[in-house]
Amino acid sequence: MVAEIRVDEALVEEYQRNGAVLVKGVFDNKLVEKVRRGIDKNLKTPSKYGESLKARDGEGAYFDDYCNWQRIQEFREYVFESPAASLAAQFMRSKEVSFYHEHVLNKEPGTSKKTPWHHDQAYYPIDGHQVCSLWMPVDPIPKETCVKFVAGSHLWPKWFHPKKFASENNYPLRSDEVKDGGCSRTYHDVPDLEIESGKWPILQWECEPGDVIVFHMRSVHGAEGNRSSVNHRRVLSTRWLGDDAVLASRPWEVSPPITGGLQLGQRVVCDTFPLVYRRN
């Protein structure tokens, strides 16, 4: 049974305004240790989606993998028993919450490989505004290593091309535009240089195990490498969908390449994307 949690409405307002918010001390040590075990299992036995990236030979790797919750019990218990779904419901202001997938991210000590600026929703075949991720570290994360967000970018009218993390190039297009629910949408290049120049405020925090960053799937974000010579930066980022999330098309191969057998325009709830939580 999903555990309940209540958050301050001021934090919800901050999330709605900025697109990302740090929530301190959400998860207890027992749950953090459970997720840590799950991540270690994933690192030892990656799925077909796993990849390990290096900026140059001889340094630490940036590992990521997803869609392993059905085979890793610790992830499954986190999804269906922890307060995560309750937390997502409140920040999305959604009555119901379905689970999309989990994403393990680990930057080994001495990893210079960066996470390029991007927003997640363009990767996914998902439309809707009630969509969020919970970024949960199981290691202490110094501010300079933490994921960083462009404040308010989830409200920008533009959608951006997804990037390959290995090359930092845009995904190859099948066409310039895609019809989503009868509406034509154009995708743009992420304005990397303008972001780096300081044109918009950047949100970034120091995190401890038990903290969680809640962020909107259209919030533009990125991260530096891991400068530590001894500490890993292990994170479980889970993706959650609310009342208005529907299956949509994209002009590239979506990532992860899973649609659960749904038809375009259908609400994203099925065995592959289970309904986890309903608010009273």
Q: Coil, strand or helix: which one is 73? A: helix
Domain assignment of residue 92, yes or no:
yes
Domain assignment of residue 97, yes or no:
yes
Domain assignment of residue 4, yes or no:
no
Q: Could you tell me the two tokens for 15?
A: 């999330």
- pTM recorded for the entire structure: 0.95
CA 84 – CA 20 distance, rounded (Å):
16
Domain assignment of residue 14, yes or no:
yes
Domain containing 57: what range?
9-273
| Number of domains present in the structure of the chain | 1
CATH number at residue 82: 2.60.120.620
Domain assignment of residue 71, yes or no:
yes
Domain assignment of residue 179, yes or no:
yes
CA R_g for the chain: 18
Tokens 């099925």 correspond to 270
List CB contacts of 195: < 8 A, sequence separation 6 or more.
117, 150, 202, 220, 222
Q: Are 224 and 69 in contact (CB under 8 A)?
A: no
Domain assignment of residue 130, yes or no:
yes
Q: What is the pLDDT along the chain (280 residues), one digit of tens a residue?
A: 788 889 999 999 999 999 999 999 999 999 999 999 999 999 999 999 999 999 888 899 999 999 999 999 999 999 999 999 999 999 999 999 999 999 999 999 999 999 999 999 999 999 999 999 999 999 999 999 999 999 999 999 999 999 999 999 999 887 544 444 444 689 999 999 999 999 999 999 999 999 999 999 999 999 999 999 999 999 999 999 999 999 999 999 999 999 999 999 999 999 999 999 998 7
CA 250 – CA 187 distance, rounded (Å):
10
